Amino acid sequence: MAIEYRLTLAGSTPVERLAERALPDPDERPAGTESPLSVNLDDRLGFAVFVSAGRDGYFDVESDDGPWEWEPELHVSVTFRMDKEADPQWKVTNMITIVRRVLATGPEDAVLVLNGDYVLLKRFGGKLVKHRRESWWSSYTAADSILPG
């Protein structure tokens, strides 16, 4: 069984460009000729990475304020798939470092979702909001300190 985090950005950013933004080191970057691009970084970072593009997106997840929906016409995503058995602090800190890098290198509206169910952060109109799911952010204090908000 695995845990999956998905950072989704609104818009038509090419998957190759998003992969470069997420993982600038060519040895770590997802590769391929079609969406999704993928790379297994279990040994280096603690997860596999998939970069994909989509149309007519629909997200129905839980936020701090209850159910939340988002329907971006075009979107690209970076998905982090983690084994539940490895050190979660190390993996999550590495993942949030990549999320911060992606957010810092582009202005897109964005959402980070845990297991397709829970919003952990949103950025709309340039404003980043962490959803204070106490059991998540307080469990990963290093990750919490990486992102302002």
The whole model's pTM is what? 0.93
pLDDT of residue 71: 95
pLDDT value, residue 133:
62
Fold of 2-143: TATA-Binding Protein (3.30.310)
Which distant-in-sequence residues (6+ apart) come within 8 Å of 37 by Cβ? 15, 16, 19, 30, 31, 50, 51, 52
pLDDT for residue 131: 82
Q: What is the pLDDT of residue 141?
A: 81
What percentage of residues in the chain have a pLDDT greater than 70? 96
Q: List the chain domain ranges.
A: 2-143
Rounded Cα–Cα distance for residues 19 and 137 (Å): 25
Which pLDDT tens digit goes with each residue over 12-28?
999 999 999 999 999 89
DSSP string covering the chain, please? Answer: -EEEEEEEEES---HHHHHHHH--STTTS-B-SSSSEEEEETTTTSEEEEEEEEES--EEEEETTEEEEE--SEEEEEEEEEETTS-HHHHHHHHHHHHHHHHHT----EEEEETTTEEEEEEETTEEEE---HHHHTT-HHHHHHS--
Residue 35, pLDDT above cutoff 80: no
Position 85 pLDDT exceeds 80 = no
Q: What is the mean pLDDT of residues 121-140?
A: 84
